[in-house]
Structure 1
Amino acid sequence: MLPSQFSPLRECSIDIHPNARWQQNGITVAGGNGEGNGINQLSCPWGSHVDDDQTVYAADTVNQRIVEWKLGTTNGQTVAGGNGQGNGGSSIV
């Protein structure tokens, strides 16, 4: 049983049929400029999240940072890490 301050993760409310078809004209919303450490690049992104205002957050593992792309921008912004591995306040372990 979970303590009262914790709530279970909500389930995805999107119901996608197993045989759904998608148009083939996707757009790149983060990265897309080859692998690297530039602010418009990622190196081994491991996870992503899109918030309510359509801002994309990517966990950029090799560069040890979290990068944010606001809707309509071409460059990201490092919002956590980016200073190499470590246990300091500016590092991601």
Structure 2
Amino acid sequence: MAVPNLPSTLEGWYELTIRLDRQWRQAVAERKIFAARGGLTQQAQRNWQTPATRPQQTQWRPPAQPAARDPNAMQVDRNRGPLRCYNCGQTGHMARAC
């Protein structure tokens, strides 16, 4: 629908909005009637639906190489003792793996 001149008052915008809403509701109702009768073809139904988004194809990249370890990095886990299970008290595993 082409709007010859846009409203300049709030009341005019209300009227235009109501008119457009009625047209939209009428089109939806007609679409349901035709679909119930089998009157719409696949092409016509596709025109009513929003276009499906296609996933973008990305260029293949080789797997990233792990970063080289810093030889001067702090060994923070060295200060901890071995893992001890809370269930059985043995070292080397956690309670969830007991």
TM range (shorter): under 0.3
Larger radius of gyration: 2
TM-score after normalising by structure 1: 0.18
Q: TM-score by structure 2 length?
A: 0.18
Q: Comparing both structures, which one devotes a greater share of its residues to strand?
A: 1
Structure number having the greater helix percentage: 2
Higher relative contact order (CA 8 A, sep 6+): 1
